[in-house]
Structure 1
Amino acid sequence: MGTVVGIHGIGQQQLGRQQLLTAWQPALGDGVERACDGRKVPNVPLNMAFYGDVFLSRPESAAASKAGAASGPWWERLDEATSAELESTAGELLPEGAIQEANARPAKARTRMPGFLRAIDRHFPAGGLLAIGDLVQVRRYLSDAEVKARVDAAVDAAVTPECAVLIGHSLGSVVAFEYVRRHPGLRLPLLVTLGSPLGLNLVRRLMPNVSYGVSFGIPPTVRAWVNVRDPRDPVASAGPLGQWWPGVDDVPPVDNGRDAHSATAYLGKKATGQAVLAALPGLSGGRA
């Protein structure tokens, strides 16, 4: 029947493969059962490509750890180039004039928070600030060769020839796309992207071997590509991926509730289950 491999997203460095599987397995099972109109189905054969440790900081001493804890919020530790790119990304996600309006407002208690982050926090109150902060990891993956090599190696170790479905959430969708690109001999029945930042200028500009501003079709190594997005998800709010990769099946928008970027909310959607069933019809006894 084949297997499913999940590639997690940003900000998972404090977790591990087993913890993520514990969350992903039932969530994906719920999506499949919804696609089967509530009928119980066997557990989806799921494995997880875990790379979070690559982003886990390791202070050299207790003093260094204490100094890091006292160094203030993450945006105060950004270098100028990263801050500029995040501000440009915020401009993509926000209504016109939102950043200028935030800059004109008194900062109150968040005096040192840049205006573009205050605008994000106001427009995406449920996790927007965290989401754009974690885009720092996306940038590191695409611009730091050592980080990318370590992440890619973790995925290579997890994806076997039996893999029929590759599911990438958030940064994981970028990593999944890169896996497909790096393996030209691959024949993958289904790529599923959830809450993907692949449409953001920041991401497409940094992707290797992709001409910025040019549209591409689905990679020839992939039979089908299904993209699931909540329009209120700041990471995925650049819009349907079919704008840049014609042929992508951008299913109707979903509603993930308060946590629009939640991996488990995406996995539990009927649209996700339907996509997986199409590639693994044996889950429903051959009745996808």
Structure 2
Amino acid sequence: MTVVHGVGQQFSGPGLLRSPVADALRDGVEIAGGPVPGTRDIGVAFYGDLFRRQPDRDKGGETRDPDEADGDFERQLALLWWSRAADVDPHNVQPPGDLAGAKARTPRTVKAALRSLSMSRFATRLTEPVLFRLLSQVRDYLTDDDMRRQVLGRVSEGIGADTRVVVGHSLGSVIAYEALCAGAGPSVRTFVTLGSPLGIPLVFDRLTPAPRDGVGAWPHGVQRWTNICDPYDVVALREKLSGVFRSREEDVRDVSLDDDSSSAVKDRKVDNGWRAHDLGRYLTASVTGRAIGEGLAS
């Protein structure tokens, strides 16, 4: 099986990331009472270094400040996250108020959003510059064709021909989805998404293959798709992906959004405490372990 990590791993490495990910995943499956995979059976498709700034080559990159944002993608996503955080965590996050409706491209709105987000359960221990880099990585993947090609190539290589289960966290769920749709991992039958932004219009409308009539394509070969989110995880603005992504079988049967069949996305909630978006906490949750265990046992 293969885990595709999310944003913010530019200073990590495949070996450094693999150990804690494998441990957390094994714990989650064990807690759920499933068949615990061996450590060697768990791979991490690593791409984080592609976002690491190269001073001798790059003129921008991670040195950009929120004040330099031109207002488009980062501003929209930051304000969406801010609004969501204020809705679900009102004791810690003040609502954006009039700023959410501001028409001008005001860089200060990005900084204000990041400042507010840094106080939320989503962003515990994350500083404003770190949050801005997270926004930038999402933007770079979705808008920079060369970056997208490199990242997809790396992740596709990390999904082996005999891989049966793929787990994607955060931006990694988007990358894993596109890789599977492109034919990576022909043996993959189970897809698990954690804290996924796949349902956010800013992301959904930029997916490859492009959605048709408001419905996203179903990944090739996938028979089970479980989407898991913490209600305080603002990255997963749209908590439910059922109905947003449909298989051909669903189209034929015209299933309802609440259908729990194997061909429909199963949406599940989890409580990650004060680190709502944390990959390790998602992996140790019994609901995640159950979804992975079912995939390994099938």
TM-score, reference length from structure 2: 0.77
Task: Count matched residues.
Answer: 265
Q: Which of 75, 85, 106 is equivalent to 2:76? A: 85
CA–CA separation in structure 2 for the residues paired with 1:239 and 1:133: 23
Q: Give 2:26's aligned amino acid.
A: G
Q: Which of 93, 97, 100 is equivalent to 1:100? A: 97
In structure 2, the residue matched to 1:9 is 6
In structure 1, the residue matched to 2:259 is none
Q: Give 1:48's aligned amino acid.
A: V
Identity in percent = 31
Matched, 1:174 2:170: no
* Structure 2 counterpart SS, 1:225: strand
CA–CA separation in structure 2 for the residues paired with 1:31 and 1:24: 11
Q: CA deviation at 1:258?
A: 1.3
Q: Provide the aligned C-alpha RMSD in A.
A: 3.3
Q: CA deviation at 1:78?
A: 2.1
Q: CA deviation at 1:91?
A: 6.0
Q: CA deviation at 1:152?
A: 0.9
Q: Which of 273, 277, 280 is equivalent to 2:296? A: 280
Matched, 1:51 2:67: no
CA–CA separation in structure 2 for the residues paired with 1:268 and 1:21: 15
CA–CA separation in structure 2 for the residues paired with 1:185 and 1:273: 21
Distance 1:211 1:187, change over 3 A: same
1:92-241 paired onto structure 2 within 5 Å: 93-95=84-86, 98-100=95-97, 114-124=111-121, 126=124, 127=126, 130-131=130-131, 133-183=133-183, 186-211=186-211, 214-216=214-216, 218-241=218-241
Q: Give 1:80's aligned amino acid.
A: G
Distance 1:230 1:208, change over 3 A: same
* Structure 2 counterpart SS, 1:48: strand
Q: CA deviation at 1:77?
A: 3.3
Q: CA deviation at 1:177?
A: 0.4
Segments of 5+ residues of structure 1 without an aligned counterpart are 104-110, 282-287
Check conservation: 1:86, 1:132, Cα contact below 8 A.
no
Q: CA deviation at 1:81?
A: 2.2
* Structure 1 counterpart SS, 2:160: coil
Q: CA deviation at 1:187?
A: 4.4
In structure 2, the residue matched to 1:285 is none
TM-score, reference length from structure 1: 0.79
Matched, 1:20 2:17: yes
In structure 1, the residue matched to 2:270 is 254
Distance 1:94 1:31, change over 3 A: closer
In structure 2, the residue matched to 1:29 is 26
* Structure 2 counterpart SS, 1:236: coil
CA–CA separation in structure 1 for the residues paired with 2:142 and 2:97: 29
Check conservation: 2:170, 2:196, Cα contact below 8 A.
yes
CA–CA separation in structure 1 for the residues paired with 2:206 and 2:157: 24
Check conservation: 2:162, 2:187, Cα contact below 8 A.
no
CA–CA separation in structure 1 for the residues paired with 2:77 and 2:135: 8
* Structure 2 counterpart SS, 1:172: helix
CA–CA separation in structure 1 for the residues paired with 2:295 and 2:186: 16
Check conservation: 1:5, 1:159, Cα contact below 8 A.
yes
Q: CA deviation at 1:5?
A: 0.6
Q: CA deviation at 1:112?
A: 8.7
